[in-house]
Structure 1
Amino acid sequence: MKIKVGRAALTAVVLSVSVGCGAGTAGPGTGERTAAPSSASPPAARGLSSRDLQSRWWTWAASEPERTNPVVDQDGSACARNQAKDVWFLAGSFGDRVKRTCTVPDGVPLAFPLVNLVADPSSCEGFMSAAKGSATLDGKRIDSEEHPGERISVLGVADNPVTGTDGRTFGTGCGLWVQLPPLEPGPHVLTIRGESGDLAVAVDYSLDVGTASQASSWA
């Protein structure tokens, strides 16, 4: 993830923060500009519009201070923070390689960036010219979507590490994104890789898709 406001204005952030926020080295496994189609790939979800997807995801990522923020999260303990009922967001990192374990409610679609940015239109154009990434679910490649630029709004809380500001900000959102239909109940392994320029993201998720009763614990 890359965002040119607040701390994430370091020089960029794969909420990924480039996943979706990241600066650093993703390591082996970073793929093409978009994931190659595969007959074994999970079907793409109809999902949210580009504006809703990016505005909501960035707002979710900016909705917690650093101590409990899902992008800073090192083990998955913060992944349920502020999740909505209609979509479950996953985060990248600020450049470090992270392994997270998360319980996901049954029957809810997933959405996450491989690499992303909020900035101005010209910065998004340069960012997308170098953006590439890949994701796998249980060892099978997942198709991603390219969102070259969309005017979005982001609402953050005080001391969040994404926008660094308490309140609403506006910018152009862009990136490589994945939206998935609800996963089958049980364990799943999801890998996320993304990069653009000096930004890189590498996150490995162990997902346990649970029952509807587990959804009652959503933050």
Structure 2
Amino acid sequence: MRGFFLVMGFFIISLILLLDSVNDTSLSEESFNHTQSADIKKIDVSDLAYDIDSNPFNISYTKWTEKWWQWAYSIPWDTNPSYDDSGKYCDKNQNGPVWFLTLAYQHSVKRICNIPENTALLMTLLNSECSLAEFPFLKNQELGVCAKSMQDHVIGGNASINGIQIPNIQIYRIQSDVFNFTLPENNILDLPPQTTQAISDGNWLFLKPLPIGKYELKLKGNIQTMTENETNTSIDKYREFAGPIGWNYTTTYMLTVK
């Protein structure tokens, strides 16, 4: 009988600790949301994004998109921010005046992320890339055709900050030059480690540094998956890769700039 009461006592204590842990997590998120609603900044979105012909921090917009891909592919699957539901890896391999943000690849997510002051943010709304690692039968000049054939199936996208829509996001489509990226062990393409060449084509959003404060950033892109009835032979050999996962989900970032 004494053993029974000891077991029951341990069970009750464990249950109390578990409930306290759940409450602490809920209170933490509630506290963040309350602080955000109290401190949220109304900002002028008309001059929030860099133009695609600009050179942020003396580097071309195009080169920054290439750096985004190099960053995204350099991080192993288990700590890659693209597959992070909470935001705990949002600072992974981030340095310099620009941080990179990614969309959710499997389902809609809400991520909490702290951003250093005076840091610009480059993110994809929708983007594609074709590399020699994925398409070894292509020639370099065909990589751009491949990426464009995927990106042409974008049917829309939107972005908002603090509930305010960022206008004219359709103008931020850009194709890169040929660039290199390196895949580590356990990479998100599930390919052998290697350095390869690629061209990307995508719709981007490149935000200028935000003032200190809290922000809710929402991103979503839509893509129309190709059907078996399509007859455009120029994309036939790219069909296997033409419907990447993750393009019809909403990604929410709860950002604190400090």
Q: Does the TM-score normalized on the shorter chain lie above 0.5? A: yes
Alignment of 1:199-218 (within 5 A): 199=244, 200=247, 201-210=249-258
Alignment of 1:55-66 (within 5 A): 55-66=66-77
Bigger shift: residues 62-71 or 145-154: 145-154
CA distance 1:57–1:165, shift in 2 (3 Å):
farther
Q: What is the aligned-residue RMSD (CA, Å)?
A: 1.9
| Residue in 1 that maps onto 2:205 | 178
CA distance 1:113–1:191, shift in 2 (3 Å):
same
CA distance 1:165–1:52, shift in 2 (3 Å):
farther
1:160-186 CA-to-partner distances (Å, cap 9, x unmatched) read 214634232211101000111100111
Where 2:204 maps in the other structure, the secondary structure is: strand
What TM-score comes out, normalization by structure 1 length? Answer: 0.71
Where 2:74 maps in the other structure, the secondary structure is: coil
Q: Distance in 1 between matches of 2:177 and 2:92?
A: 25
Q: Which has the higher helix share?
A: 2
* Number of equivalenced pairs: 172
Q: Which has the higher strand share?
A: 1
Structure 1 runs of 4+ with >3 Å offset: 39-42, 162-165
| Residue in 2 that maps onto 1:191 | 218
> Residues 161 and 218 of structure 2 are in contact (CA less than 8 Å); yes or no, is this contact kept in structure 1?
yes
Alignment of 1:37-116 (within 5 A): 40-45=45-50, 46=54, 47=56, 48-116=59-127
Where 2:152 maps in the other structure, the secondary structure is: helix
| Residue in 1 that maps onto 2:178 | 151
Structure 1 unmatched runs, 5+: 1-38, 211-219
> Residues 63 and 176 of structure 2 are in contact (CA less than 8 Å); yes or no, is this contact kept in structure 1?
no
Query: Which of 125, 142, 145 is the matching residue for 2:148?
Result: 125
| Residue in 1 that maps onto 2:25 | none
- Kindly name which structure, 1 or 2, has the bigger radius of gyration based on alpha carbons: 2
- For 1:62, the aligned partner's letter is Y
Identity among equivalent positions (%) equals 27
Where 2:82 maps in the other structure, the secondary structure is: coil
Alignment of 1:162-173 (within 5 A): 162=189, 164-173=191-200
Where 1:71 maps in the other structure, the secondary structure is: helix
Q: Distance in 1 between matches of 2:47 and 2:196?
A: 34
Where 1:62 maps in the other structure, the secondary structure is: helix
> Residues 75 and 99 of structure 1 are in contact (CA less than 8 Å); yes or no, is this contact kept in structure 2?
yes
Query: Which of 162, 165, 176 is the matching residue for 1:141?
Result: 165
1:120-159 CA-to-partner distances (Å, cap 9, x unmatched) read 2222222232223111111122243111453222222211
Deviation at 1:93, TM superposition (A): 2.0
Bigger shift: residues 144-153 or 98-107: 144-153
Q: Distance in 1 between matches of 2:221 and 2:177?
A: 20
